[in-house]
Amino acid sequence: MKKIALVTGSSRGIGAATAILLAEKGFDICINYKNNSLAANEILRRTKKFGIKCIAVKADVSNETQVINLFETIDQQLGPVTALVNNAGILLPQSKLVNLNAKRINTLLTGNVTSYFLCCQQAVKRMSTEFLGVGGAIVNVSSIAARTGSPGEYIDYAASKGAVDTLTKGLSVEVASEGIRVNGVRPGFIKTEMHADGGEPGRIDRIKNNVPMQRGGETFEVASAVAWLLSDAASYVTGTFINVAGGR
């Protein structure tokens, strides 16, 4: 079966590492990005070195119309997706709950939760045997914050990832008989640019001693877990989460 993967938010960080690793493993790839075309084109260049087909498509995956257009573009240029990695997300500046407002909460939930629902929906319509698909696999990138709650810093982000975990579990059961596996990966403190979005670029150095392994994680370590869950080696695995968090 031809392997075609969409990795959302793959112009940087975990998404970029995942796109490159999947290309190395023979997947045709759609790199999705929201704004940074230069970064997306660099990942496009790096993935093409593996001799696979690869496209970069701009889309805000929290917008339903843009998600539909994204999947239709993949249909036309690569073929229907057989693998979806829901990775796109946002992190807003650190804050306690008492300082949050509805606009911020809704922005974060739309970016981190609605986007996953919309992309899962379009993927299921292409993968499911109920829709004459040939099956496939979905991996939702969550966060160890879904378990810890991230008090005092990112409680809204943590809540959004808790919703992702619930989506993952529920959808895994809903489509298990339709040839689709749905799993999640929960990264811990990973060295990515996202920490700057939260207002503390050096956050890993501050908190790494709280991790049993005494270090932050690398993006390729998360990408490796994602790739395994998408592989035939995980053919009997669904509704499961891998914590890539150094023991947290």
User: What pLDDT does 113 receive?
Assistant: 98
Of residues 71, 33, 29, the one with CA closest to residue 51 = 29
Contact between 62 and 98 under an 8 Å Cβ cutoff? The reply is: no
Helix axes of 102-109 and 155-174: crossing angle, nearest 10 degrees? 30
Q: What CA–CA distance (Å, rounded) separates 111 from 26?
A: 30
**CATH assignment of 4-244?**
3.40.50.720
Of residues 100, 220, 116, 125, the one with CA closest to residue 161 = 116
Average pLDDT over residues 15-31: 98
User: What pLDDT does 38 receive?
Assistant: 96
Q: What CA–CA distance (Å, rounded) separates 47 from 61?
A: 22
Residue of higher predicted confidence among 101 and 212: 101
Contact between 64 and 89 under an 8 Å Cβ cutoff? The reply is: no
User: What pLDDT does 206 receive?
Assistant: 77
Could you tell me the pLDDT band of residue 30, with boundaries at 50, 70 and 90? Answer: very high
Does pLDDT of 203 surpass 90? no
Active-site option among 33, 116, 154, 157:
157
Residues 6+ apart with CB under 8 A from 174: none
Q: What is the pTM of this model?
A: 0.95
116 counts as catalytic: no
Structure tokens at 42: 């660099």
Average pLDDT, the chain: 94
Lowest-pLDDT range, 17-26, 78-87, 88-97, 220-229?
A: 88-97
Q: pLDDT tens-digit profile of 175-200?
A: 999 999 999 999 999 987 654 555 56
User: What pLDDT does 192 receive?
Assistant: 77
The enclosing H or E element of 120 equals helix 115-127
DSSP state of 140: E
User: What pLDDT does 197 receive?
Assistant: 59
